[in-house]
Amino acid sequence: MPSPFWCELASRRMATDTRSDVRFGGLADADLLELHRRMVLLRTYDERSVVYHRQGRIGTYAIFWNHEAIQAGATFALDDEDWIFPSYRESAIGLVRGLPAETILQWWRGHPSGWWNPADWNVASISVPIASHVPHAAGLAWGKKLRGENAVAMAFFGDGATSEGEFHEGVNLAAVMNAPAVFICNNNQWAISTPLEAQTRAESLADKAVGYGIPGVTVDGLDVLAVYGAAREAVERARSGGGPTLIECVHYRAAPHATADDPRAYIDVARMEEERANECLGRFERLLIDAGVLTAERVDAARKDAEDLMRAGIAAAEAEPPADPELVFTHAYVDPPENFRNG
Amino acid sequence: MAELTLVEAVNDALHTELARDEDVMVLGEDVGRAGGVFRATAGLRDRFGPDRCVDTPLAEAGLLGGAVGLCMAGWRPVVEMQYDAFSYPSLNQLITHVGRYRWRTGGRMQFPLTIRMPYGGGVRAPELHDDSPEAYYVHTPGIKVAIPSTPADAKGLLAAAIRDPDPVVVLEPKLVYRTSRGEVPEGEHVVPLGEARIVRGGSDVTLIAYGAMVPVCEQAADAVAVSCEIVDIRSLRPLDERTILASVAKTGRVVIVHEAPRTAGFGAELAALIAERAIFDLHGPVLRVTGYDVPYPYWTIEDAYMPSVERVVAAVESLT
């Protein structure tokens, strides 16, 4: 297992290289600030959600603290017409597209106003069963290609998902159809309590790409620019007809699996603390501040904006009247069978 | 009208629907180059091209999950599962996504996909080429299920399934794929889901069946002295309760026939419907003639499993 810090220097190199197309991967200062804003948004969403859960304002919640570099970095390589297929670990990833925090909070509150139309945001519904959305991304990418549309599909899943049959079937389908898909494996080395070595004997999850005949790369999952760089290359390849890519983003889970989980029973607590001290947002902020792109004031402003957004989001969610019980029936069918209300 | 076998009628429906709607595409294992192991998709690849009749990898969950994504891209996929029991790896997709995705989007995204497959026993085939999985499908909310027993219905129900805005599973009785032959309307032909067919009128006993058990009921009706009404329900969801209840009101005696194992088979649902809605019309118990609660047997002994004319006759005679 490579150290999660093994390519931290990638960002440092990018930051210090003075060539404009290499410095920060060619991202302009405005892009870097936007990327930072998105990471702050995701971080704030996650931290506030844990609090809301403890306050009884949302239900059980899957924590993604320190996964922001992966989520913001990978999606930053997408255009608006591209699709995102989140697992529950990426429940709030639609925020980067402007999906209201209120909607996602309602999903975690078990309220039907947490439903959204995937086509409004090009963000698929949150997929709860592990890896079962991977074939959806393959099908959408393939189907768009058949229609001559220029959309890339990006699916997110964890390390445990790579053991699922539907991961294999979905990536293989995308590869065979040369579909413009990008598969982002969030390898935080834990599937709830099962460590990676109990999940696979493969040295690297990116190696699985070899079996599909597609490129597989490993990046530091805490290095937002490394994730972005790998994703941009994969998206460009997909869009230009080069087919799918598997990107493994390695880090080490620094928070519980979910609000209902106490990882002290199984995780290396000292390692977790080490990870928390080296968390991805702080790393990016230090990098940008050192480079003179970001200031402490801007950090504060970004946090305040995100906190305001969350405050408004939870207020709007809580202000919403209880869902109409009629919604139990409303959307089960377009053209429902006559007897479907019999209970 | 042309006289076609049941599987030729399926093929006719696919040709007609792909020609009618350019969003319709067919995908599955061996559906393209080979034209399907039963020839149900013959000629589609040549006529509509390899992008609209697609040979997929041998992976049923990926196939059905891929079709979910195709729906999201605006296609109307028709997925072939090569055999009944080969569809089981796709049940996760069916249950966790196909039946719920529209609901999950608050009704804002449609999943008008069709899954069709040959089903049922009696064809002297290896293990797991003989199952009747309709109960798994009809028990899954959000899914509609149709089962034809004649060539005309095979064409018309499949066309209705393809045009339906909800996901539909069409189970085709492979036992009568080539022995069931009949007049099939040319061109567009739709048999609406949710309308049972009275195969023949009668006054003493109602025989309720679908798929390959319809001809078994017809032979049984010929062999008994009493007058049997045969209801081919054609569509398990939506279910034509009116036709069933009207027949029971007339005869007061019911025998339900299916190949699938007995426990929690669709016959139990039909019996419950009749108990709830027509108990005072009944002159005797609602009987079922079904497969047994055992794995479908090897083919040298499968006749001992399949509901036979004799078993249906015995059930009818016990009621009269």
Residue A317 lies in a domain: no
Q: Quick one: pLDDT at residue A21? A: 66
Residue A118 lies in a domain: yes
Contact B66 A170 (CB under 8 A): yes
Count the Cβ atoms, other than its own, within 10 Å of residue B3: 10
- A41-81 pLDDT per residue, tens: 999 999 999 999 999 999 999 999 999 999 999 999 999 99
The tokens describing B35, both together, are 């034209």
Q: How far apart are CA B39 and CA B31, in angstroms?
A: 8
Domain assignment present for A280: no
* pLDDT band with cut points at 50, 70 and 90 for residue A1: very low
Q: Is A112 close to B51, i.e. CB distance below 8 A?
A: no
**Mean pLDDT value across residues B239-266:** 98
Tell me what pLDDT residue A10 has: 60
Interface of B with A in 52-81 (CB under 8 A): 56-57, 59, 61-75
CB–CB contact B61 A129 (8 Å)? no
B229, pLDDT greater than 90? yes
Q: How far is CA B96 from CA B90, B100, B208, in A?
A: 10, 7, 31
CB interface of B with A, residues 21-50, below 8 Å: 25
Share of chain A above pLDDT 90, in %: 92
Confidence class for position B187, pLDDT limits 50, 70, 90: very high
ipTM of the complex: 0.97
- Name the superfamily (CATH) of residues B2-184: Thiamin diphosphate (ThDP)-binding fold, Pyr/PP domains (3.40.50.970)
Whether residues A139 and B96 touch (CB distance < 8 A) is answered with no
User: Is B279 a residue whose pLDDT tops 60?
Assistant: yes
The CATH number of the structural domain formed by B197-319 is 3.40.50.920
Q: How confident is the model at residue A208, as a pLDDT? A: 97
Which pLDDT score is estimated for A25?
78
Share of chain B above pLDDT 70, in %: 100
pLDDT reported for residue A6: 37
For the cut 60, the answer to whether the pLDDT of residue A8 exceeds it is no
Cα separation, A45 vs A39, in Å, equals: 10
Predicted confidence at residue A14, as pLDDT, reads 64
Confidence (pLDDT) at A23: 79
On whether residue A251 sits in a domain, the answer given is: yes
Contacts of A249 (CB under 8 A, 6+ apart): A69, A70, A74, A184, A185, A186, A187, A218, A219, A220, A221, A227
Q: What is the pLDDT of residue A26?
A: 85
Over 80: is that where the pLDDT of A13 sits?
A: no
Which residues make Cβ contacts (< 8 Å) with residue B97, sequence separation at least 6? A127, A132, A133, A136, B65, B68
- Taking the CA of residue B126 and the nearest CA in chain A, the distance in Å comes to 25
pLDDT-derived band at A311 (thresholds 50, 70, 90) equals very high
DSSP state of B71: H
Q: What is the mean pLDDT of residues A121-128?
A: 98
- Shortest CA gap B96–chain A (Å): 7
Count of domains observed in chain A:
1
Please report the pLDDT score of residue A15 as a whole number.
64
Chain A contact for B97, CB < 8 A? yes
Q: List, for residues A229-263, the tens digit of each pLDDT value.
A: 999 999 999 999 999 999 999 999 999 999 999 99
The pLDDT value given to residue A7:
45
Could you tell me the residue range of the domain that residue A155 belongs to? 8-270
* Contact list, A128 vs chain B (CB under 8 Å): 96
**Residue in B97, B129, B189, B258 annotated catalytic:** B129
Closest-CA distance, A248 to chain B, in angstroms, reads 21
A236 occurs within a structural domain: yes
Model pLDDT for residues A128-148, shown as the tens digit of each residue: 999 999 999 999 999 999 999
Q: What is the mean pLDDT of chain A?
A: 94
In a domain, A195, yes or no: yes
For the segment B183-209, the average pLDDT, to the nearest whole number, is 98
**Domain range list for chain B:** 2-184, 197-319
Q: State the pLDDT at residue B68.
A: 98
Asked if domains B2-184 and B197-319 share a fold, the reply is yes
pLDDT tens for residues A144-177? Answer: 999 999 999 999 999 999 999 999 999 999 999 9
Q: Residues A154-186, buried b or exposed e (16+ Cβ, 10 A)?
A: bbbbbbbbbebebbbbbbbbbbbbbbbbbbbbb
Name the average pLDDT for chain B. Answer: 98
Closest-CA distance, A74 to chain B, in angstroms, reads 21
Q: Which of B150, B18, B170 is nearest to B81 (CA)?
A: B170
Whole-number pLDDT of residue A17: 66
Chain B interface includes A149 (CB < 8 A): yes
- Among residues of chain B, what percentage have pLDDT more than 90? 100
| A200 located within any domain | yes
Task: Check which CATH number belongs to the domain holding A120 and give it.
Answer: 3.40.50.970
Tokens representing A3 are: 């150290």
> Can you give the pLDDT at residue A12?
63
Domain-located, residue A334: no
